[in-house]
Amino acid sequence: MTNHWVDIKNADFILIMGGNAAEAHPCGFKWVTEAKAQRKARLAVVDPRFTRSAAVADFYAPIRPGSDIAFLGGVINYLLANDRVHHEYVKHYTNATYLVREDYGFEDGIFSGYDAGSRKYDRESWNYQIGADGYVMVDETMQNPRCVYQMMKQHYARYTPEMVERVCGTPKDAFLKVAEMIGATAAPDKVMTIMYALGWTQHTVGSQNIRAMAMIQLLLGNIGRAGGGVNALRGHANVQGITDMCLYSDVLPGYLGAPTDADTTREDYLAKRSLKPLRPNQMSYWQNFPKFHTSLMKSFYGKAATAENGFRYDWLPKKDAPYDVLHIFELMHQGKMNGFICQGFNPLAAVSCVKKVRESLAKLKYLVVIDPLATETSEFWQDYGEYNESDPAKVATEVFRLPSTCFAEETGSFTNSGRVLQWHWAAADPPGEAKGDLEIVGTLFYRLRELYQKEGGTFPDPVLNLDWSYAIPQVPQPEEVAREFNGKAIADVTDPKDPAKVLAKAGEQLATFGHLRDDGSTSSGNWLYCGAWSQAGNLMARRDTADPSGLGFYPNWGFSWPANRRILYNRANADPSGKPWDPKRKTIAWDGSKWSGYDVPDMRPDAAPEENVGPFIMHPDGVAHLFALKGLSDGPFPEHYEPFETPLAANPMHPKNPLALQNPAARIFKGDQADLGKADKYPYVATTYRLTEHQHYWTKNVLSNAIVQPSQFVELDEDLAKQKGIASGDLVKVSSQRGYVRGTAVVTRRLKPLQVDGKKVHTVGIPIHWGFVGVAKQGFLANRLTPYVGDANSQTPEYKAFLVNIEKA
C-alpha cells in the first residue's frame, strides 16, 4: 500500500476492484465503513461476483473476469475526454509533458520491438527523447504529439464506453456511473482510494492491471495524498515483510536488483543500478544503491567482506534464469532439481496445476517441509483416493517434515500491508517438540557449516565465512537478527558536510539509511528497515496510540518503512508551491524553510519548492510514470489482452491479429501450452477466490472456521443452472483441461451471465480453501483446475480467469 489501513477513512470515494476487501480483509475494511459513516464517502465495487463487499456498497457493476484493463482503459478515456483531470498535478508530478522517442509505436495490439519467436520485446524504443543537455525533452504545453499526455490520449481513445461494454460485459450505464464517481475526485479537494488484491495480480496481464489503476490515480492527482494512493491488500500477515526481505530470486533484501551473469564486475553491477537524474535537481534516490548494497554485503559476510576483495561481490550467486516458482517447478518437472525446502509454504495447493506440481515433487531426491501444520505438500506422495491419487511405492522422494512454531509461540516482527513493522511476543511454549523457524534455519546452517569445516567440499568459502556471530549459533534470537537487519556503524560515521560531526559511533545501531556508507563502515541487512532498531531501541515494539493529526498516522506505533513514513510520495499532497491541495487533509507542507507536518516528508527536508524537486524521488526524472518506459516487459501502456483461456475467438480490440489475442509477452512453457483448454469443450469462464471464513489452506485445519464454512462448493448463475438442470445443493463436477473438482452447487443471483462481444458468457465461481488434509470436510484442491501460466512481469499464475465445464455430478 502506498498509504495504510487507517488512512482509508480519509477517502471521499472508495473503489474496490480486483479484490474483495470485506471478505479477505474484514478488519481493514472497517475503515471503509468509517469513511462512509464519518465522511459520507461512497463505495463502488466492480467484480465478476456480487461479493460481500458489494453487499455494503453504494454501487455495484459486474465485469467479466480478465477484462479489467478494458474497463480501466475506458475510465482513462472517460477522464481525458470529459476533462476529469487534476491538471496541475499531472503537469508537475507525472511524465505527461515528457517526449517519447519517435521510434516508439503501437500497432494492432503490438508495441514496437516485438519478437514473436522469443515472445519478448526489445524495449529500447520505449523511452524518452533526450536533449543535448542529457536531460529528457519536455513540452510544457502538452501539445506535442509525442508527449506522453497526447500519446496516452491517442492510445486510450479506442476504449469507448461501447467498447468497455463489448469486452467486459459491463452495461454501459453501469460503467459510466462508476467512471463518473471516479472522475469526481479529480477536484483537488476530493480524494479516492483503490483497494485491490489478487483479483488483479492473478492474470497474465496482472502488473498492467495495477499500472492502469495507478495511471487513473495520477490523472486524478490522488497519489501521495491522505485518503488516496494505490493500495494493494496483501494476503498474508508478513507477505509485505518477506517481500521486503526479498526471498525471491530477482532481488536482494531491500529490492536491490540481484546480480545476473551479465553483471560480471561489481563496478558494472553497481553503476547500472545507480541511476543518474534525468531532469535537473532530481534526487534519483537509487544513486545511493552502492551504499545499500555494500552495507548488505557487510551484514552477510562480516569481516570477510572488505574493500580490497570487492566486499565479496564474487560470492553472491549470479542468476542465469528467472527462478520464479513456475520456473522452479518447470525445472523440477524436467528432473533438474534434487532437493527442495518448503518453509511454511504449501505449493501443492498454492502453485497452479496440481498435476504438474505433484509430478515434479515426485522427481525430487529429498523434500523438506517446515510447517506448524500438516500440509498437502508434505503428503503429496500419499494416496488420498480421488482427492490425491498416488502410489507411494512409486514415489522415491524422501520427505522430512519438521514441526515449527506458530505466531503464538514466537517473538518477532511482521510488516503489515501498510508497511508498518510490529513486534509480537510469544505467549506459550510450542506443542510437543516443535521449534521456532530461527532455530530450524540456524541449526541446519550450523550443521552444514560444521560439515564443511570437517570434510571440506565445493567452494566452502561463503559457507564458512557467512557472518554468524549469534550468541547461540544454533539458535539465533529474534532481537539479534532484528538488530542485524537494521544495521550498525562498524567505524564512526561522520557527516559529509562536517567531518567533525559524528552521526553514529562505531558499534552503534543506525538511526536511518541516510547514514549508510559504501566504504564498509556500515552494515545493514535491509536498508529499508534501517531505523527499526536504532540506538533508541526496538521501534517496532512501540505502542503509542497518539494520533496528533487525527488522520490516523499513529507515528509512534511500530515503525513504518521507509524512515517511519506513513504515506509514500507525500510531497505530492501539496501543490508545486508547497501548499496542501486540501488543507483539511494536510500531511506535510513547505513552511518557508523546510518540509514539515504530521508525516515524515518523502522529500529532502530543505528542498525549496522553487528547486522543482519531483515527489517521486526513486525515479531518475522525479515524476510518476504515466508512460512506463522500459519498466514492464509487456508494454509502456496497459493494453487489453484476453486471458490464456478465453471464451472469445479473437481479442475484440484487435480482431484481426491473432498475436494480440493474449498477452504477447507472457511466458508459457511448451508442455503447458498443450494443457490449455478451448471454449468448445470448456465453454464457461471460471475464477477462483477466497471466502471470508477461511484463510487459504490453513483454516481447514481450524475447527471453528470449518464449522462456519465446512465443505467445498461452487457458485453459478440461475440461468446456467437452469440450462444444466442444476439446483442449489446438488453435487456438481467442474472440469478444466487439467483436472476436475466436485462440490455443492450454490445457485445464486449474485452471478449473472454477461453479454460479451455478442456472446452470452457465464462465470463459475470456485472458492479455494479445501483439500485432503484438515478438520473441514475433505475436498479437492482448486488449483487442480488452473493453468500453468503467469503474468508477463511477476509470473503470478492466472487463477482468476480460465475455462471450465460444469455438470451435475
Partner 1 sequence: MQVTRRQFFKICTAGVGGSSLAMLGFSPTAALAEVRAFKLTRTTETRSTCPYCSVSCGLLVYSLGDKAKNAKSEIIHIEGDPDHPVNRGTLCPKGAGLLDFVHSENRLKYPEYRAAGSKEWKRISWDEAFTRIAKHMKADRDANFIATNDQGVTVNRWTTTGLLASSAASNETGYLTVKVARGLGIVALDTQARI
Partner 2 sequence: MALQSLDIKARSATTTPSPSARGEAVKVAKLIDISKCIGCKACQVACMEWNDLRDEVGDNFGVYDNPRDLTDQSWTLMRFSEVEVQAGKLEWLIRKDGCMHCADPGCLKACPSPGAIVQYANGIVDFHQENCIGCGYCITGCPFDIPRISKKDSKVYKCTLCSDRVAVGMAPACVKTCPTGAIVFGSKEDMIHHAEGRIADLKERGYQNAGLYDPAGVGGTHVMYVLQHADQPEIYAGLPKDPSISPMVALWKGITKPLASFGLGLAVLAGFFHYMTAGPNEVEDDEEEHTS
Return residues touching partner 2 (CB under 8 A): 22-23, 26-27, 29-30, 33-34, 36-37, 40, 50, 52-56, 58, 60, 692-693, 703-713, 727-730, 743-750, 775-777
What are the E-state strand segments in 404-551? Answer: 412-415, 420-424, 488-489, 493-495, 498-504, 522-523, 533-534, 537-538
Pick the closer one to partner 1 by CB: 422 or 687. 422
List the single partner that 744 binds among partner 2, partner 1, none, CB under 5 to 8 Å by kind.
Answer: partner 2
607 contacts 615 by C-beta, under 8 angstroms: no
**Stretch 137-166 residues interacting with partner 1 (CB under 8 A):** none
Select the residue interacting with partner 1 from 401, 604, 630, 752 (CB under 8 A): 401
How far is residue 198's CA from residue 17's CA, in Å, rounded to a whole number?
10
Residue 777 as a binder of partner 1 (CB under 8 A): the answer is no
**How do 366-371 and 339-343 pair as beta strands?**
parallel
Closest approach of partner 1 to the CB of residue 761, in Å:
26
Query: Which sign, positive or negative, has the C-alpha torsion 156, 160, 165, 171?
Result: positive
Pick the closer one to partner 2 by CB: 282 or 763. 763
Select the residue interacting with partner 1 from 12, 68, 410, 575 (CB under 8 A): 410
Site stretch for partner 1 (CB under 8 A), options 213-221, 389-397, 502-510, 607-615? 389-397
Residue 576 as a binder of partner 1 (CB under 8 A): the answer is no
Written as nine digits, the cell of 785 is 483446475
Q: Rounded to an integer, what is the distance from CA 563 to the centroid of its chain?
A: 21
Integer angstrom CA distances of residue 557 from 542, 564, 600, 669: 5, 10, 14, 46
Residue 347 as a binder of partner 1 (CB under 8 A): the answer is yes
- With CB under 8 A as the rule, give the number of residues binding partner 1: 160
Question: What region does 597 belong to: left with phi over 0, alpha with psi -120 to 50, or beta?
Answer: left
Residue 452 as a binder of partner 1 (CB under 8 A): the answer is yes
Q: Please provide the DSSP assignment of 703-753 as one string.
A: HHHHHHS-S-EEEEEHHHHHHHT--TT-EEEEEETTEEEEEEEEEETTS--
Angle at 178 between CA 172 and CA 180, to 5 degrees: 100
Residue 393 as a binder of partner 1 (CB under 8 A): the answer is yes
Buried b or exposed e, range 764-792, using 16+ CB within 10 angstroms: bbbbbbbbbbbebebbbbbbbbbbbbbbb
Site stretch for partner 1 (CB under 8 A), options 56-64, 124-132, 442-450, 668-676? 442-450
Pick the closer one to partner 1 by CB: 195 or 660. 195
List the single partner that 729 binds among partner 1, partner 2, none, CB under 5 to 8 Å by kind.
Answer: partner 2
Taking CB under 8 A as the rule, which mask of x and - marks residues 610-639 in contact with partner 1? Answer: ------------------------------
Residue 568 as a binder of partner 1 (CB under 8 A): the answer is no
Pick the closer one to partner 2 by CB: 30 or 630. 30
Residue 56 as a binder of partner 1 (CB under 8 A): the answer is no
748 contacts 717 by C-beta, under 8 angstroms: yes
Alpha-carbon torsion angle 284, 290, 295, 298, nearest 10: 170
Taking CB under 8 A as the rule, which mask of x and - marks residues 176-215 in contact with partner 1? Answer: --------------------------x-------------
Integer angstrom CA distances of residue 767 from 50, 191, 688, 711: 14, 33, 5, 10
How far is residue 122's CA from residue 105's CA, in Å, rounded to a whole number?
12
List the single partner that 40 binds among partner 1, partner 2, none, CB under 5 to 8 Å by kind.
Answer: partner 2
Residue 549 as a binder of partner 1 (CB under 8 A): the answer is no
Q: Which of 693, 696, 723, 738 lies closest to 808, judged by CA?
A: 723
Residue 350 as a binder of partner 1 (CB under 8 A): the answer is yes
The residue count of the chain comes to 809
Integer angstrom CA distances of residue 749 from 4, 51, 445, 621: 34, 11, 55, 49
List the single partner that 56 binds among partner 1, partner 2, none, CB under 5 to 8 Å by kind.
Answer: partner 2
How far is residue 299's CA from residue 286's CA, in Å, rounded to a whole number?
20
List the single partner that 407 binds among partner 1, partner 2, none, CB under 5 to 8 Å by kind.
Answer: partner 1
List the single partner that 639 binds among partner 1, partner 2, none, CB under 5 to 8 Å by kind.
Answer: none
List the single partner that 512 binds among partner 2, partner 1, none, CB under 5 to 8 Å by kind.
Answer: none
Site stretch for partner 1 (CB under 8 A), options 110-118, 462-470, 648-656, 675-683? 462-470
Residue 11 as a binder of partner 1 (CB under 8 A): the answer is no
Closest approach of partner 2 to the CB of residue 731, in Å:
10
How far is residue 534's CA from residue 505's CA, in Å, rounded to a whole number?
12
**Stretch 662-721 residues interacting with partner 1 (CB under 8 A):** 692-695, 698-699, 701-705, 708
283 contacts 622 by C-beta, under 8 angstroms: yes
Pick the closer one to partner 2 by CB: 631 or 710. 710
Closest approach of partner 1 to the CB of residue 135, in Å:
35
Closest approach of partner 2 to the CB of residue 99, in Å:
46
Site stretch for partner 1 (CB under 8 A), options 76-84, 377-385, 670-678, 752-760? 377-385
Q: Rounded to an integer, what is the distance from CA 103 to the centroid of its chain?
A: 31
Select the residue interacting with partner 1 from 129, 160, 288, 443 (CB under 8 A): 443
Pick the closer one to partner 2 by CB: 46 or 632. 46
- Cα-atom radius of gyration of the chain, to the nearest Å? 26
Q: Which of 734, 744, 644, 650 lies closest to 684, judged by CA?
A: 734
Select the residue interacting with partner 1 from 115, 140, 173, 398 (CB under 8 A): 398
How far is residue 161's CA from residue 771's CA, in Å, rounded to a whole number?
42
Residues 6+ apart with CB under 8 A from 55: 22
Pick the closer one to partner 1 by CB: 284 or 422. 422
Residue 556 as a binder of partner 1 (CB under 8 A): the answer is no
Indicate the DSSP class of residue 580: B
Pick the closer one to partner 1 by CB: 244 or 645. 244
Pick the closer one to partner 1 by CB: 634 or 717. 634
Pick the closer one to partner 2 by CB: 167 or 745. 745
Pick the closer one to partner 1 by CB: 318 or 752. 318
List the single partner that 593 binds among partner 1, partner 2, none, CB under 5 to 8 Å by kind.
Answer: none
Residue 27 as a binder of partner 1 (CB under 8 A): the answer is yes
Integer angstrom CA distances of residue 117 from 120, 331, 667, 690: 8, 21, 12, 37
Closest approach of partner 1 to the CB of residue 411, in Å:
8
Residue 320 as a binder of partner 1 (CB under 8 A): the answer is yes
Pick the closer one to partner 1 by CB: 144 or 524. 524
Residue 484 as a binder of partner 1 (CB under 8 A): the answer is yes
Pick the closer one to partner 1 by CB: 20 or 763. 20
Select the residue interacting with partner 1 from 14, 15, 20, 25 (CB under 8 A): 25
424 contacts 412 by C-beta, under 8 angstroms: yes
**Stretch 577-596 residues interacting with partner 1 (CB under 8 A):** none
Q: What is the residue type of 74?
A: G
Q: What is the residue type of 309?
A: N
Residue 437 as a binder of partner 1 (CB under 8 A): the answer is yes
Pick the closer one to partner 1 by CB: 329 or 682. 329
Q: Which of 746, 739, 688, 687 lies closest to 713, judged by CA?
A: 746
Q: Which of 302, 645, 734 lies closest to 490, judged by CA?
A: 302
How far is residue 440's CA from residue 402's CA, in Å, rounded to a whole number?
8
